[in-house]
Amino acid sequence: MKDGKLVTLAIESSCDETAAAVMLEGRNILSSIISSQIDIHKLYGGVVPEIASRHHLENVNTVVDQAMDESGVTMDEVDMIGVTCGPGLVGALLIGLATAKAYAAATGKPLIGVHHIHGHICANFIEHKQLEPPFTALVISGGHTNIVEVTDYNKCQVLGGTRDDAAGEAYDKVARVLGLGYPGGPLIDKIARAGNPHAVEFKRVFLEKGSLDFSFSGIKTGVLNFINSEKQSGRNICVPDIAASFQAAVLDVIVAKTVSAALDMKKDRIVLAGGVAANSRLREMLKAECDKNGIELYYPSPVLCTDNAAMIGCAAYYKYKAGMRDDLTLDAMPNLEL
């Protein structure tokens, strides 16, 4: 079945998705199982770490068994075990790691720890078979907002990041203020399509000249203040207009900084990754700017944007090819730097 090709079993459990995948030669999915806890955390308006860990523990073995069954390969045919070792919720990471280590110990297969952001970037190699480094990546999710220079499969340098909230976190907080529910990103994406992005001019936070960092913590207060002053003046608030205006303020900054990073680094490719990369307006705006500047834009399909184990398997494969291995002392690193 594998014809001498390398097979990876990968596990991801850094936040609220318990996922396992089997990959062939890093970029081809033989199986990818994602057990999402979103419906459980919805009740609390966000991810509750202890509940996430408990559900990972309950689900991880079933998810791995299902991934192996659907892949059509046997454990004997697996060449390496890849697992997310950070960053993320410590209790959640530990469940995936303990499982991966148990498989590695029992089978003698090499264990490879993967940085979650490296995984998100690698989702693009699965989607776009011809894509190769170098390129500029924008990794944008519930926990991260980073502009990254990717010079090789295993070489990523962070050029800028958020100084406070991640972009996805800002979407989730503003959605809560607007009474839309959790997770807020997809809900704002949808409702904003019916709104006017120029209805309210929320502040665009560019920080110092030339900085590729971000700050999104003020925008939730901006939205709250606007809603309160409208209510005090007896005016009705228009949720689609506020959603569209919030989104425009956040995306104007993100798009401008990402394109300027690519131009500064003389890169003619931009690669989007992470949960917020599924945002339809972000894709449209970035595509228009990329076209203007002769830059090619790549992004994964939505199921590969949000957390999954296929992307972790792809990253593990490139680390394996470069001779990188971990041993059974590999630990969860909740604040792991890229």
Binding site for Zn ion (CB under 5 A): 141, 307
Q: Determine the Cα–Cα distance for residues 83 and 313; give it in Å rounded to an integer.
A: 8
CB of 278 to ligand KG4, least distance (A): 4
Residue 64 or 170 having the CB closest to ligand KG4: 170
Residue 26 or 186 having the CB closest to ligand KG4: 186
Binds 197, which of Zn ion, ligand KG4, none (CB < 5 to 8 A, cut-off by type)?
none
Strand pairing report for 80-86 and 111-115: parallel
Residue 32 or 141 having the CB closest to Zn ion: 141
Q: Which residues bind ligand KG4 (CB under 6 A)?
A: 15, 141-143, 168, 171-172, 183-186, 189, 274-276, 278-279, 306-307
Residue 38 or 102 having the CB closest to ligand KG4: 38
- Could you tell me the CA-to-CA distances from 269 to 77, 104, 259 in Å, in that order? 36, 37, 10
CB of 318 to Zn ion, least distance (A): 18
Binds 172, which of ligand KG4, Zn ion, none (CB < 5 to 8 A, cut-off by type)?
ligand KG4
CB of 89 to Zn ion, least distance (A): 11
Binds 160, which of Zn ion, ligand KG4, none (CB < 5 to 8 A, cut-off by type)?
none
CB of 279 to ligand KG4, least distance (A): 3
CB of 52 to ligand KG4, least distance (A): 12
Residue 143 or 222 having the CB closest to Zn ion: 143
Nearest to 144 by CA among 299, 282, 337: 337
